[in-house]
Structure 1
Amino acid sequence: MLTTGLCCIMALPIVAPPDPAVSDADPAELPAPVDAPPVAPIRIANFPRLSEVETRAPDDDRAPLRDAPRAGGGVVDHLRSIPWEAGGVAAGITALGIFNWNWGSSGFHFSSEGWFGRDTSSFGSDKLGHAYSTYVMTEFLSAAIRRNARAPKRAQVSAAAISMALMTYVEVFDGFSGDHGFAWEDMAANTAGAAFSVLRHTVPGLNDKLDFRLHYIPSGNVGWRPITDYSGQRYVLAVKLAGFEPFADGPSRFVELHGGYYARGFTEREKLRGVEPKRALFVGIGFNLQQLISRDRGEKSRFHRAARSALEYVQVPYTAAYSR
């Protein structure tokens, strides 16, 4: 009861007793009220979020302001930031599937394609083709996210997820092709390509030291088709000495160490020409063409930036010597 009574008393409005001098005065003699300045209403929306507040180091008032982190991010936001890039890739692979991979020519089925054995359709070159395609797609989409996204953090991971979604789309529709079928080996190769892209941009300095490239010279089987002419391909891992500090400034920065895989003699046309079936690992030494393009100049020119970027993924023919 006491507590209830105190609460009731505290809830009552506090009214001061009237001032007799004021209450008895003639209203005409009372001073005119003073207009108080308007008070702006307090709105929560006017206050900045905690993440947007610029802060200083607590122990030094003269410390420079730190940039606040930007909100947003994630796969969905990153995908929304690159609609044209992702849509263009999807349209491109759809066209390839319809016109080159015979999508829709059969009912859905699985296919066990194997890896690099002589009993496989291309001695494993198609598996490296899947890994390389997913790798390049991840690299392209991650660069687009970094350019366009509001919060590009983890762009590489988002790009890998988007690339895997697109390549899964490819594999599902391969299941409706009489020439192919859904193959778990292809999915594993796709995963390896996306993971390599993430690794290359996660380990500090690795992207300056190691490239995954396609070397292509038409085989004479199907014309100029660098994506599907497996007999004309070599897949190259290139170690660039320019990415290592002791070799960054001297003539050795032009030197690359190569290793890779290729296969020949597995197509019907090659068999008719008498090409001997061959699966080969190779090593070699190459010339780093990127070093001919100045980094400083490349930062100012879109053409130079594009050229430097392309040379990370394409091995120009006749710029390397291989063991076999």
Structure 2
Amino acid sequence: MSHLQLLLLFTLWTPILSGQGRPINPDFTERDPLEGVAADNWLRPDSTFSAGRFYTSLGVGAALYGSASYGLYQAWYADYERAPLRSFDDWGEWNQMDKAGHAFSAYIFSRYSFAGLRWAGMKRPAARYAALGVANLLQGTIEVMDGYSAEWGFSWSDMGANLSGSLLFTVQDIAWKEQRILLKVSNDLRDHPDVPVTNGNGAISNLSYPSRTRFGENLLERYLKDYNAQTIWLSANPKAFFPKSRLPTWLNVAVGYGSENVYGAYGNGWTENGQRFRYEKEGYRQVFLSPDVYLSRIPTKKRWVRLVLGALDFIKLPAPALEYSEGKLKGHWLMW
């Protein structure tokens, strides 16, 4: 385990291990679950629509999305030529890890947008459907960037994944007025592989070449693009389904989807210095089962703590896990 992983582990688990106070049975279906528990301040959601708060939420969201879009452009598109808008079918690529990522992103956009609109005092149905529209609009702009890239194209299956992720939020809010099932992500931040590969002509390459070329060098690129290191999780809260149980409100059970030995969209081949190479091991899918933490349901009496924990609710915390892949069941003492 690297020093970075140890630091992240300590940072993520500290709020749970230390405790943050214990409100009595907060109702997470309410606009303000900390009503009567936390002191009133500007973080308290407004009970009536506030134009000032609405434009504040809009401005903060636009700034965050603009920054994220610039970072995404630099990580994903800057090194590729532009082309006329086109569409293509990429459903079979990357063992659908990219589709899982699209669904995850749309879900998170929906959740953040909804929280900002409710804080501004917008009524629940209006905030719910506005968040649905915002999530698909933001994800659609990414798809348009794909459409103008010579490397990719506009993908209807990506748009379908976007819609499915945003609807996961919307349908839950209609049914339960809360999020009992979250979409999360984890990434083990592994190093690029060091595996020599020789082709039929005797030329030598290394598996690190396609890994660095396709997944990037810096931390942001690898977090977004390395499908071997990344896992997308459905994280469910048993307490929400069984409210009379003695389970902690913050304890979740998560099912993850990942992939391994995937270094190309349809296969592990690449070209280096005019020579073709292929990594013989085939990619395979993985399914995981692991405990998890619903961070924003950790007991607290401070609104700013709940805000921070809610912003981090997209992270699947490192924990023991069972993995099913290649027809076998494996165990991990600690899975990132």
TM-score normalised to structure 1 length: 0.63
Name the SS of the counterpart of 2:95 in structure 1.
Answer: coil
- Does the aligned pair in 2 maintain the 1:90–1:166 contact within 8 Å? no
> Is the Cα–Cα contact under 8 Å of residues 111 and 182 in structure 1 kept in the other structure?
yes
C-alpha change, 1:218 and 1:276, in structure 2 (3 Å) is farther
Deviation at 1:83, TM superposition (A): 2.1
2:237 corresponds in structure 1 to 240
The structural deviation recorded for 1:126 is 0.8
Report if aligned partners of 2:295, 2:312 keep a CA contact under 8 Å in 1. no
Q: Which amino acid aligns with 2:308?
A: A
The aligned residue for residue 266 of structure 1 is: 262
- Which residue identity lines up with residue 276 of structure 1 in the other structure? K
Structure 1 position 278, deviation (Å): 2.9
- Partners of 1:71 and 1:217 in 2: CA distance: 42
Unaligned runs of 5+ in 2: 1-46, 193-215, 270-276, 326-336
1:323 counterpart = 2:324:
yes
- Aligned-pair CA distance for 1:89: 0.7
Equivalent residue number for residue 109 of structure 2: 137
Structure 1: distance between partners of 2:296 and 2:122: 33
Q: Is 2:224 aligned against 1:227? A: yes
The answer to whether the aligner puts 1:192 opposite 2:164 as a matched pair is: yes
Would the aligned equivalents of 1:130 and 1:186 in 2 still touch at CA under 8 Å? yes
* 1:193-212 equivalences in 2 (<5 Å): 193-204=165-176, 207=179, 209-212=180-183
Shift in CA distance, 83/279, structure 1 to aligned 2, threshold 3 Å: same
Question: Aligned with 1:316: secondary structure?
Answer: coil
State the SS of the aligned residue for 2:103: helix
The alpha-carbon distance between structure 1 residues 205 and 286, as it changes in their structure 2 partners (threshold 3 A), is: farther
Any stretches of 5+ residues in structure 1 without a counterpart?
Answer: 1-68
What is the distance in 2 between the residues matched to 1:89 and 1:291? Answer: 22
2:227/2:262 contact within 8 Å kept: no
Partner of 1:180: 152
* Number of the residue aligned with 2:64: 88
Structure 2 Cα separation of the partners of residues 188 and 291 of structure 1: 28
Distance in 1 (alpha carbons) for counterparts of 2:232 and 2:280: 20
Tell me if the contact between 2:103 and 2:166 (Cα under 8 Å) persists in the aligned partners.
Answer: yes
TM alignment of 1:1-324, pairs within 5 A: 82-102=58-78, 105-115=81-91, 117=92, 120=93, 122-149=94-121, 153-204=125-176, 207=179, 209-221=180-192, 222=216, 223-224=218-219, 225-245=222-242, 248-250=245-247, 256-267=252-263, 276-288=281-293, 290=295, 293-294=298-299, 297=300, 299-311=301-313, 313-324=314-325
> Quick one: distance in 2 between partners of 1:167 and 1:103?
21
Q: What is the deviation of 1:134?
A: 1.4
User: Greater strand percent: which structure?
Assistant: 2
- Superposed displacement of residue 200, structure 1: 2.4
Q: In the TM superposition, what whole-angstrom CA distance separates every residue of 1:232-278 from its partner, at most 9, and x where no partner exists?
A: 11111122222233564247x67543323211222169778958333
Whichever residue aligns with residue 317 of structure 1, its letter is: P
Instruction: Indicate the SS of the match to 1:226.
Output: helix
- Residues 266, 322 of structure 1: CA spacing in aligned structure 2 closer, same or farther, 3 A cutoff? closer
User: Which has the greater radius of gyration?
Assistant: 1
1:219 positional shift: 3.8
Partner amino acid, structure 1, of 2:132: A
Identity of aligned residues (%): 19
**Residues in 2 aligned to 1:212 and 1:164: alpha-carbon distance in whole angstroms:** 16
The residue type paired with residue 212 of structure 1 is: L
Give the Cα separation in 2 of the matches to 1:88 and 1:250. 36
